[in-house]
Chain A
Amino acid sequence: MPQQNINQDSFDDDVPEELPPPAAAAASTDALDALLDEIDGNLQVNAEQFVRSFVQKGGQ
């Protein structure tokens, strides 16, 4: 559980520059591309029909 000790000032709109960018955002690029490649074939074939046929009844 990351519990950064952030003081009140960092809530201001102009954030101090010394805060490091998270490594996670950059690291995920390859994973996202791999996922997009993985689903590409299915989407090309039947996306339109799939969207049209996804019909639910209203619930709560």
Chain B
Amino acid sequence: MRIVGLETEYGITDPADPRANPILLSSRLVNACREWAGEKTTRWDYGGEDPLMDQRGVRRPRTHVIPELLTDAHEFNAAANSVTLRRRRGSWEDPAHLNAVLTNGARFYVDHAHPEYSGPEVSNARDAVIWDRAGDAIALAAAGEYARIEDAQVALYKNNVDGKGASYGTHENFLIRRDVDFDVLAARLTPHLVTRQIYTGAGRVGLGVRGEEPGFQISQRADYMETEVGLETTLRRPIVNSRDEPHADRSRWRRLHIIIGDATTFDVATFMKLGTTSLVLSAIEADDQRLAALTLAEPVGDVQRVSRDLTLREHLNLADGSVATALEIQRAVLEIARDYVADAVDAQVVGRWESLLERLARDVFETAREIEWVAKLQLLGRMRGKYGTDGREAPWDDPRIVASDIVWSQLGMGLAARLDAAGQVERIATDEEVAAAIEHAPQDTRARVRGAVVANLPDIVDAAGWSTIVLDREANHGHLEVVHLDEPASASHPLIDELLRG
């Protein structure tokens, strides 16, 4: 078991007004999400965030960062006990940073110029798929409510690029032990992050940050990775992000924040993205020396090299002077990961991993029901044939092909959703599980506490964060009470449980 979480920034447009302000659209969508949630929602607690702390042990001076990194508010709350008091302040909410904390433990909010769903903490990759799909369903429900309130439509896309130079992220979070040396972790995890895209990639039409060169590549994000390790997420994007903001007991835990991954609409891609990386982290926590042998000579360049090699045959240079293909590196990582299988979900991950690599090596199209870039390549390849002239396929920059890449990821009616509806996509999460996860939080993490409070005690909740719940109720001291949830795997809190019992 490892606590993991997934965040998705959706692309957003008003189909009738392409120039509509995306911050305004996002803010109205979050407002619609609150309307959809009715009483059962609360706002975000910005009290305890520390976005300028670097995993490498230094805190960046506030004057040395771009303003987007300053997400913490006026208070840094270093709590000693599990309940502390907080002075009341005004309750003004910035409409550009509107939030909805939901009964399933998730946060739906405006991040930069996108609506974002940050799923609840879950204990395994399978649950991550279930609550990720629930997020798509919640975003669609919010869009439905938006149409009713605003008398206008909003379209949402689960992708990472607009083809004009902009990229927005899908972030994975993994809880890891604090005593793991961060530089060692970054070095040993990098070969996996660079090569896992051969089964986690969502596929992209266009090469280069603006799609300036026609073509197809495996990953949405590859062209936007510029450095190996770093604090930023919106520029100079790193393969391994070093923000040290554990949202948990800092003495025990790190939260590893991974920004290289694609947004995925295929269950298997999401499952493998989280499941394989979690196992590699177990190997790193165990100080497994075998990972060091896979160190790449040029990891940043290799991200793009792997993404553009649809044959999966290109050799990457390793630091020790040898060469290996992405498939060979993945086979080696799999062999190491096999030794860290700890539960049934891990075993499913390893079984699928083995099977996918074997079929990718034989014929990538054998994986078209599971691997998103392969499914996209198959469908768009057929489309190129259909729209070709004079016996030649239509070029990759044919607007119909480029448009189809965008429409692929549209929530509700996109091409991936239609393939799924036609039974062409292998599922990990059932529709019933997803429907339940729209309303209910995971029961084996602290998300259970957050979700239960929002569902059952909305009148006395002032705000909630990842590691805090702020209560506003009659008390002699007259202050707000901050309930601290510093152990992500702890699914109860004595005060909250008492209040829930009524």
Contact = CB atoms under 8 A, between A and B. Distances in A.
Interface of A: 1-4, 6, 10-11, 13, 15, 19, 21-22, 24-25, 28, 31-36, 38-40, 43-44, 47-48, 50-51, 53-60
Given A28-B424, A56-B11, A58-B167, A43 B403 contact: yes
Contacts of A15: 358, 361-362
B233 A60 contact: yes
Contacts of A6: 354-355, 358
Contacts of B331: 11
A50 B11 CA distance: 14
A1 B351 contact: yes
Interface string B171-185: 100000000000000
A49 B160 CA distance: 20
A3 B348 contact: yes
A51 B168 contact: no
User: Residue among A34, A40, A56 with the most chain B CB within 10 A?
Assistant: A56
17 contacts: A1-B348, A19-B362, A28-B378, A31-B419, A32-B382, A47-B402, A54-B162, A54-B163, A55-B164, A55-B166, A56-B11, A56-B113, A56-B162, A57-B112, A58-B167, A58-B168, A59-B234
A60 B169 contact: yes
B345 to A, nearest CB: 10
B419 A35 contact: yes
A10 B167 CA distance: 38
B386 interface: yes
A57 B114 contact: yes
Contact of A11 (B112, B168, B361): B361
Interface in B15-66: 18, 22-23
Given A55-B18, A58-B168, A4 B113 contact: no
A53 B14 CA distance: 10
Contact of B406 (A32, A40, A50, A58): A50
B404 interface: yes
Contacts of B419: 31, 35
Given A38-B418, A51-B163, A55-B18, A11 B358 contact: yes
Contacts of A35: 379, 415, 418-419, 422
B383 interface: yes
B259 interface: yes
Contact of A33 (B23, B164, B233, B382): B382
A16 to B, nearest CB: 10
A58 B259 CA distance: 14
B141 interface: no
B292 interface: no
A36 B383 contact: yes
A43 B166 CA distance: 23
Nearest to B7: A60
Nearest to B235: A58
User: Residue among A21, A40, A43 with the most chain B CB within 10 A?
Assistant: A43
B187 interface: no
A48 B399 CA distance: 5
B83 interface: no
B379 A60 contact: no
A28 to B, nearest CB: 5
